[in-house]
A = this chain, B = another copy of it.
């Protein structure tokens, strides 16, 4: 019991990732009636925000899951940081809804900053989570080769600067900030992901 494995942590984390992604749909809302067709086209920012957040959560989940496979034991601090990371992921439906409802409207800057800010926080916590486990192979499984750890390092390091840039872009163009976030989820992250050599 001194060095519990990662099973417990994975069950809870998997649940939170899948639920957070699926709750994103609850942020859509339209008034019913004659203009429904028009309104369904008008809410394109909500679709953009939904797709961006869903893909982002899916990829973060896969990175999380893959990285955990190199971790051989967990401690109190690691579990706590993992909890903070999940807290940020589970929070994402709220700023996603803000972007969906406010983009191209008067509140778009605040919405985009809240969205990008959440992603920055998530990237920082994911980095802390990994570095805590990896430093001096603190929690790394004996069987994990150093080359695999370096691959994870390379995949994780761009996260924080990338989302910090999105945060900066949001001051100038909220729409551009969301589009860049979408592009990261659709083009950059899949290619930088770890599942594939």
Contact = CB atoms under 8 A, between A and B. Distances in A.
Nearest to A53: B87
Contacts of A11: 14, 18, 65
Given A36-B98, A107-B32, A109-B37, A25 B90 contact: yes
A76 B8 CA distance: 25
Nearest to A7: B65
Residue from the set A66, A79, A191, A193 with the largest chain B CB neighbour count within 10 Å: A79
Contacts of A28: 94
Contacts of A17: 12, 15
A19 B86 CA distance: 12
Given A23-B25, A110-B36, A58 B12 contact: yes
Contacts of A54: 83, 86-87, 90
A107 B74 contact: no
Contacts of A111: 36
Contact of A21 (B16, B76, B196): B16
Given A36-B102, A40-B114, A12 B87 contact: no
Contacts of A35: 107
B76 A191 contact: yes
Nearest to A83: B58
Given A86-B58, A107-B32, A18 B19 contact: yes
A62 to B, nearest CB: 6
